[in-house]
Amino acid sequence: QVEAMTMGQRIAVMSNGVLQQVDEPETVYNKPANKFVAGFVGAPPMNFIDGKIEGGHFVSASMKFGLKSGHAALGHEGKKVTLGIRPEDIYDASAKNPVPVTDENTFEAQVDVLEKLGAEDTAYLVAGDFHITATLDPASRIESGVTAKFAVDLDKIHIFDGETEVAIR
């Protein structure tokens, strides 16, 4: 993956011999065609949370995020979808970060494990039935074993159809 993403001008992602997406590496990463591509490209891999669209929000058993006006997923009211969030798009809501912290983009989670890696920390979170990986700034004061609030960059979320797993854009 790393070699393809850094050296290739165009990359192809296949699953069981079926071509899933062919594009520039940055496009494959930022605009995956489907859930398979989204989970295949990136390390740590994208987090997936099952839920549905209700009243302008993505809603699951343990979290609720507001969708921006005009988001294509708003046309899927009442339907099952899967939310995709890359680990680097999750932030410690109590620390300085590049996204505003609101009720529309936050969730609480238990910090199961925190790996301090120097330039970044990898936090393994549990929010209800979902296990989520977050790549955090080491300046964060998050510790293992605590329940904390996290903010999501809603401009970078991905939503996939719950049945076809195709990206909703």
Does 166 reside within a domain?
no
In this prediction, residue 2 has a pLDDT band, given cuts at 50, 70 and 90, of: low
102: alpha, beta or left, given left = phi > 0 and alpha = psi -120 to 50? Answer: beta
Structure pTM?
0.93
- Is the domain of 38 the same as that of 70? no
Is the residue at 53 inside a domain?
yes
Assess whether 99 and 156 both reside in one domain: yes
What's the CA gap between 71 and 61, in Å, rounded?
22
Alpha-carbon torsion 84, 88, 89, 90, what sign?
positive
Same domain as 103, residue 33: no
Question: Which pLDDT tens digit goes with each residue over 34-82?
Answer: 999 999 999 999 999 999 999 999 999 999 999 999 999 999 999 999 9
Cα separation, 67 vs 143, whole angstroms: 30
Residue 97 forms part of a structural domain: yes
Cross-strand bridge partners of residue 135 = 122
- Same domain for 92 and 9? no
* 135: in domain: yes
